[in-house]
Amino acid sequence: MITTIMMIVGAIFGFAIAFAIASDIVMEKIIKANVLGDEKSTFYNYSKEPLYLSKATDDIAWYDKM
């Protein structure tokens, strides 16, 4: 009896995985092909180099005393 219940629960879980994967594949296909304008920019429009940046190495790290 318990075995049967476990098998039914397992099968439902299997269907749930199938549902999620099928939905994910379909949505991914729509978003890639039908939603236009999400391409990442390949160039920057603005300068973003720092004029000055303090020393960016580990030696100025200090440890949490807590």
Partner 1 sequence: MKIECPNCSAAVIYDAASKMMKCNFCSSSFTVYTVSKQQTEETLECDIYSCTSCGAELSVNSVEASTFCAYCGQPTIVYSRVSQEQKPKWIIPFQITKKQAIKLLKDKIEDGAFVPRQFAKFEIEKIHGIYIPYWLVDAYYHDVQTIRGKVGNGKYSSTQYFDREAEYEFKRLPFDASCRLNDELSQKLEPFDMDKMKPFEAAYMSGYYADSYDQSIEITSIFAQNKAKKLFDEQILATVPTTNRSIVSSAPTFKLRKADYALFPVWFLTIRFRNQPYTMMVNGQTGKTVGAIPFSKVKVSATWIGLFSLFSILFAPVCALLAPSLLGFEEFEVIGYFYYFFFLVFAVAIVKASINWGKIKQMNILTRETKLNQFAHKRQDQEGGRYE
Residues that bind partner 1 (CB under 8 A): 2-3, 6-11, 13-39, 41, 43-54, 56, 58, 60-64, 66
- Min dist CB 59 to partner 1, Å, is 10
- Min dist CB 58 to partner 1, Å, is 7
H or E element at residue 16: helix 2-33
SS3 56: coil
- Min dist CB 47 to partner 1, Å, is 4
Whole-angstrom Cα distance, residue 17 to residue 11?
A: 10
Whole-angstrom Cα distance, residue 57 to residue 20?
A: 44
